[in-house]
């Protein structure tokens, strides 16, 4: 006796959707979040790119700051959109609660990471592995790279 065949529609839904929660599988959610992030980087980055090309002598430090702000906005907005519409969960469910313990944890994490990277810097400096040529905004060319 042959087993009953599964309809193609069921196979496609299993490929894209989870069985318990009826939402996109994690891989698809990540892919959409990445596409949203790339699109937002392009949309937000185009004005900065135009500004650096049209304004002569546009300061490279402003370009680095602008590209950092653009990357922060694109990542944050794309994660919010993916969390809200693909994961169907709140942004706060990521653990972003503003209470006293949360602030202590945040500052401890920032302080600890600063101490650790400072320790690595001191070890490399003591070993003679570092050479300081200047700051990034003094040596890098301006321009947004998409």
pLDDT, one tens digit per residue, over 117-137 is 999 999 999 999 998 877 776
Question: Token match 């469910």: residue?
Answer: 93
Question: What DSSP assignment string belongs to 114-141?
Answer: HHHHHHHHHHHHHTT-------HHHHSP
Q: Rounded CA gap, 89 and 17, in Å? A: 16
Distance of CA 91 to the CA centre of its chain: 15
Domain boundaries, the chain: 12-96, 97-133
pLDDT, one tens digit per residue, over 47-67 is 887 877 777 777 666 777 888
């Amino acid at each position: 006796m042959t087993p009953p065949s599964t309809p193609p529609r069921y196979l496609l839904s299993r490929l894209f959707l989870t069985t318990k929660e009826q939402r996109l599988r994690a891989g698809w959610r990540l892919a959409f979040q990445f596409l949203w992030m790339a699109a937002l980087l392009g949309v937000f980055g185009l004005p900065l790119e135009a500004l650096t090309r049209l304004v002569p002598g546009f300061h490279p430090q402003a370009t680095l700051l602008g590209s950092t702000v653009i990357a922060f906005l694109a990542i944050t907005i794309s994660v919010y959109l993916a969390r809200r519409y693909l994961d169907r969960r709140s942004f706060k469910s990521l653990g972003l609660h503003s209470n006293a313990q949360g602030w202590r944890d945040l500052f401890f994490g920032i302080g600890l990471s600063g101490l650790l990277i400072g320790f690595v810097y001191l070890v490399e400096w003591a070993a003679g592995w570092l050479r300081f040529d200047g700051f990034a905004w003094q040596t890098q060319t301006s321009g947004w790279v998409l």
